[in-house]
Structure 1
Amino acid sequence: MRPLLPAVGLVLAGALVFTVLAVSAPPDPVPAAAEWPAETLQQRLKRLPGDYRGWARLGIQYVEQARVTGDPSYYAKAEGALATAARLDPRDDTVLTGRAALAAGRHEFATAAELAGQAINANPYSAAAHGVLADARTQLGDLPAADRAVNEMLALRPGVAAFARASYAAELRGDQDRARTFLEYAHDDASTPADLAYTRHYLGELALHQGDLDTADRWYTQSLEAQPAYTPALAGRAAVAALDGRLTEALTLYESVVQRLPLPQYLIEQGETRIKAGLAADWSLLRAQRRLLEEAGVRDDLTWAEFEADHGDPARAVRHARAEYARNPNLMAADALAWALYKAGRPKAALRHAEQATATGWRNPLVRHHRAEIERALGRPARTGPTPGFDPDLPALARPS
């Protein structure tokens, strides 16, 4: 899932949640400057505590801050703001969309889909609600419904957020050319440094997962030129360096990445790069982040299934993967369950889930590698070939972003 979010602890290594900030309804008309001086949203809410849409927008901003900073404590702030909005008007589409965005950030995708559907019933023209619905349906494994939501969003408000979702939908179907085309549309439409950084980063991700390290690095570099503080692009440059064998450079870059944004995905990438360089991995910060996310109400069995399968206890990986798949039977969860079962010595049980993970034609290199290894263990010819540039010692670098 592309994080608006996305990714989350958000992702984060599995969340395809996008922020609704770029696609939410425009604010109410602002009176002339002579009527009152410029004010923050918090100041406006002190003056107008009954502004339910203002409370909803504040909640949405807190959800976005959780993504940008990696600080899950913003979820509690978002919950408080959105609860106030819901008390004032529980049926407003902006309020419902904000609540859906919070649920998605916490990986409660069934709840997110339900709330987004209610928002659409209240206002069928809400591009933001269709966007959150698309993200949630993708995570729930209902790709046809996700495609319908994306198409509605494209019709209502074509732009960066809609094109990015359309790109990801095409990527999940294995149509990499169309995925790139939609991202190029998004890049052409980008008008702010943040949007330029975002679209260039994901163009880099597409190139990285196709093994084109030079093109990937070029896009990541241009992303940082647009917004030097955009940490995902810095992580992309670290990944390119690691895959290119420049491990000292990669570790230096990862140190900067995790100091800025200590998300589980980046901490795992850093640890795997240390192991590749012959150093010991220190997972203590990763475990601390896991506790913080759990305390904030984020359920991320997907990340922990993948981590335990590669670096911990395969039996625990199976438990996490089954829990994730039961809630969100998407392609990523199917792949995680397949790999966990394989690492636990059960390749026959794993094959069915590996086949599901590749059934749409999705060409993610890690997913293809997992299926090939499972088929090899069963004495069958692998139906998925290797991807150029993929390194099985650095699996986190090929995980969906």
Structure 2
Amino acid sequence: MRRLPLLLTTVALCGGLALAALGTEDGGAPSAAPRGALPAPGAAGADGSPERVISATQQRLRQLPGDSSAWARLGGTYVEQARLTSDPSYYPKAEEALRRSLTLAPEANADALTGLGALANARHRFAEAKEFADRAIADSTYHWQAYAVLADAQTQLGNDTEATAAVQALLDRRPGTAAFTRAAYDLEQHGQTDRAGQALRQALAGAANDADRAFCLHQLAELEQDSGRPEAAQAGYQRALDADPQYTPALAGRARAEAALGDTEAALRDYGAAVGRVPLPQYLLELGELYESLGRTEQAGQQYGLLAAEHRLAAENGVVDDLALGQYQADHGDPAEAVRLLRAEWQRRRSVLVADALGWALHRQGADREALGLAEQARRTGWPNARFRYHQGEIERALGQRDAARTHLAEALRIDPHFSPLHVPQARAALDSLGTADGG
């Protein structure tokens, strides 16, 4: 459920991108961030924690309330703090500060425009983020942070060629952690996992602080996990936690690896700690499904209830995201509601994640013909994603396409035989029901 996006020509572009980028280091990259949550200009990096930056910037603004750059820095740091804490109440504060900066300096204010773009990405308003990034680039062609915002937005919108171009422009201007991690993501989506790992190792070599190092190590572990190597992934997540014990994504990742290795109690413990720190819908859904796979339906229901509450809280603070709730509804709630939510999400962004989720929801509703078209769109980039293969195989099985279903279900289990504690047993049962290709 982690990730994203398109086209054969882009695969060639991606190969050139990685080869051109690797071999250059950057000693001062900003804190790397998950997709769609890029730290805005002024966000805390090697110079201090977000809390310290916020406090110092607020003090400066009390003395110089007309400092447009300080307002942009404050807004960007609020976006970063929201990312780190999963507290969306920082978003309105960020918007107020960034718009104040733009009011004070309406011309040539690339920092404020980039900050507003990062805020829009964090709120999953990707079309809006693209517009802000384009405006920032028009103001300053060499404002590298704007290309990072643009790359994230284009990726989520499903504009794959444009996303690759934005990553290349970022690499050309600032070949550091922010650029290499995005290059890695772009490569991974096109099935070039070896090159993705190479880009992440380059990002790690140039990481400026413990948070950057933890991020890069976590992403390397994710590649291992998604390739069906939970032992290596577990070790990688631990290295990320050694670099930064407070890096919650690595804690949730370690839980995922522990579940794959059959260490259920450790997985439940780590998932519990992760959602206690940062109750992201993804973590809540994963923990709920782990409980459900163990027959602990009451505890699963508690996690699903928290997921819905987190979704409401995010919406109250301007976040527009029906993907996680739609995924939950498709498997654990009302498939018709899942289709409604995910059709709305599909109108906002044509990413492969949304294509897969909508296709699966349509299958759960019984609309398998339409579902198959979306499942095929989800695979358009060549990303070797076990969950995508499983969904397509089940849809094909429902349509009586036995050979295709057998192929895709087997591929899902080959790519990652631990992709879901809930769905792996179902995939194995479905594959067994299809027998062998000769009818055995």
Structures share a fold, TM > 0.5?
A: yes
Q: What's the CA shift for 1:25? A: 12
| Corresponding residue for residue 306 of structure 1 | 327
Residues of 2 paired with 1:229 and 1:379: CA distance? 49
- Distance of aligned partners of 1:319 and 1:341 in 2 relative to their CA distance in 1, 3 Å threshold: same
Q: Is the 8 A contact 1:183 1:203 kept in 2?
A: yes
Give the stretch that moved more between structures: 199-208 or 302-311. Answer: 302-311
Matches within 5 A, 1:220-299: 220-280=237-297, 281=300, 282=302, 283-299=304-320
Q: What letter matches 2:210 in structure 1?
A: P
- 2:128 maps to 1:111: yes
Counterpart residue identity of residue 256, structure 1: A
Q: Secondary structure at the match of 1:186?
A: helix
Task: Tell me which amino acid in the other structure corresponds to 1:300.
Answer: D
Cα distance change, pair 322–5 in 1 and its aligned pair in 2 (3 A): farther
Change (3 A) 1:228 1:177: same
Greater alpha carbon shift after TM alignment, 302-311 vs 279-288: 279-288
Q: Distance in 2 between matches of 1:57 and 1:79?
A: 12
Which residue of the partner structure matches residue 416 of structure 2?
388
Partner of 1:68: 84
- RMSD, aligned α-carbons: 2.1
Structure 1: 5+ residue stretches without partners: 8-15, 28-38, 397-401
Matched letter for residue 89 of structure 1: A
Alpha-carbon separation, structure 2, partners of 1:271 and 1:25 = 34
**Alignment partners' CA distance in 2, 1:291 and 1:25:** 31
1:149–1:348 distance in 2 versus 1, CA, 3 Å: same
CA distance in 1, matches of 2:272, 2:116: 34
Tell me how far apart the structure 2 counterparts of residues 24 and 262 of structure 1 sit (CA, whole Å).
22
Aligned residue identity for 1:220: Y
Q: Is the 8 A contact 1:269 1:394 kept in 2?
A: no
Alignment of 1:334-353 (within 5 A): 334-353=355-374
What's the secondary structure of 1:329's corresponding residue? Answer: coil
Q: 1:6 aligns with which of 34, 37, 49?
A: 34
Aligned-partner Cα distance in 1 for 2:45–2:291: 45
1:68-87 matches, cutoff 5 A: 68-87=84-103
Output one character per residue of 1:125-160: Cα deviation in whole Å (capped at 9) or x when no partner. Answer: 011000000000011110100101000100100111
In the TM superposition, what is the alpha-carbon distance from 1:314 to its structure 2 partner? Answer: 0.4
Taking the aligned partners of 1:375 and 1:4, their CA distance within structure 2 comes to: 39
Aligned partner (choices 16, 38, 49) of residue 18 of structure 1: 38
Distance between the aligned counterparts of 1:145 and 1:236, measured in 2?
A: 30
Aligned to 1:399: none
TM-score (norm 2): 0.82
Q: Does structure 1 retain, via aligned residues, the 8 Å contact 2:158–2:351?
A: yes
Give the C-alpha shift of residue 234 in structure 1: 0.6
Alpha-carbon offset, residue 284 of structure 1: 2.4
Q: Distance in 1 between matches of 2:124 and 2:423?
A: 23
CA change 1:22–1:246 in 2 (3 A) is: farther
**Aligned partners of 2:42 and 2:256: how far apart in 1?**
28
Query: Displacement of 1:379 after TM fit?
Result: 2.0
- Could you say if the C-alpha distance between residues 126 and 108 of structure 1 is closer, same or farther in structure 2, counting changes exceeding 3 Å? same
For 2:223 and 2:416, how far apart are their aligned partners in 1?
13
Conservation of the 8 A alpha-carbon contact between 2:95 and 2:119:
yes
CA distance in 1: counterparts of 2:45 and 2:247, whole angstroms? 25
Q: 1:88 to 1:252 in 2, by over 3 A?
A: same
Distance 1:332 1:261 in 2: 22
Number of matched pairs: 377
Letter aligned with residue 360 of structure 1:
T
Q: Give the corresponding residue for 2:200.
A: 183
- Partner Cα distance (1:42, 1:216) in 2: 41
CA distance in 2, matches of 1:391, 1:144: 29
Secondary structure at the counterpart of residue 40 of structure 1: helix
Q: What is the deviation of 1:247?
A: 1.3
Higher helix proportion: 2
Q: CA deviation at 1:360?
A: 1.2
Which of these residues, 89, 94, 105, is aligned with residue 89 of structure 1?
A: 105
Aligned to 1:143: 160
In the alignment, which residue of structure 2 is the partner of 1:215? 232
C-alpha distance in structure 1 between counterparts of 2:251 and 2:106, whole Å: 40
Counterparts of 1:26 and 1:223 in 2: how far apart (Å)?
18
Of 382-391 and 232-241, the range deviating more from structure 2? 382-391
Aligned to 2:428: none
Find 2:71's aligned residue among 55, 76, 87.
55
Asked whether the 8 Å contact 2:32–2:177 carries over to 1, the reply is no
Shift of residue 17, structure 1, vs aligned partner = 3.5
Map of 1:323 onto structure 2: 344
Which residue, out of 190, 200, 215, partners 1:173?
Answer: 190
- The answer to whether the 8 Å contact 1:24/1:94 transfers is no
Partner-residue secondary structure (3-state), 2:336: helix
